[in-house]
Amino acid sequence: MSGVRCKLDPVDVPTISRFYGIVIRMYFLDHRPPHFHAIYAGYEAVIEIETDEILRGALPERALRLLREWTSIHRDELAANWERLQVPEQPAPIAPLP
């Protein structure tokens, strides 16, 4: 599956978690719906927090499965970070998958 190459500037986008080569980031004051950016091996996907739906981009299937497992575990923390970033305040780190 091909995806969109990552174009994020890591200085402007706080990293909130890293696991198995997947980097999770959120922008300050970003557009709705609440979402996060997942970067893996040069690919980027924008994932809606509430539904796990890919809003834009793509990830390899294995990375997407891991990401969805992580999201289901940390959905409340992701939503809380989204709210912090809208104030804007720094997000809290979120634990990786074991």
Q: Are 64 and 20 in contact (CB under 8 A)?
A: no
Q: Which two tokens stand for residue 94?
A: 């979120």
pLDDT at 11 over 70: no
Q: In this prediction, what percent of the chain has a pLDDT beyond 90?
A: 86
Q: Other C-beta atoms within 10 Å of 41: how many? A: 11
Q: What does the pLDDT read at residue 23?
A: 98
